[in-house]
Amino acid sequence: MLNLAAKTLLLKTFYELGEYDLLQSHLDAMRNYIHRKRVIGYHRTNYLNVTRFAEKLLKVNLSDRKAVKTLRSQIEQEEILTEKEWMLSRLD
C-alpha cells in the first residue's frame, strides 16, 4: 500500500511540474502494477480510478469549459476516489 501511495504522490508531482510525458509513462506503469498485484483487494478500484481520472485530467483542454464541466461532474460523481479534492482543484 505504501508503494501505491508513493506512486500517487509522484503522479501529483509530475502533473504540478508539467512533466506530462513522464506522467503518461508513470500512469501506464502504475496501471500495470495495479493489474499485477492481486493482494491489494478493494484498493484496486480506488487506484484504477486515480489513474483513469489523472489521464483524463492530463488530456482535457482546460480552455474548453464544456469538457472541464463534464470531467468535473464525472469526478464529483465517482464514489471511490481518494484524490477527488486534488483533481477538482486542478480544474479551477
Instruction: Judge whether residue 71 has pLDDT over 90.
Output: yes
Question: Which residues in the chain belong to E strands, given as ranges?
Answer: none
In whole angstroms, give the CA distance from residue 33 to residue 31.
5
- What average pLDDT score do residues 59-87 get? 97
Where is average pLDDT lowest: 4-8, 36-40, 44-48, 56-60? 36-40
Domain ranges for the chain, please list them.
Answer: 2-90
| Confidence at 39, pLDDT banded by 50, 70, 90 | confident
CB 26 within 8 A of CB 55: no
Rg of the chain (C-alpha set): 13
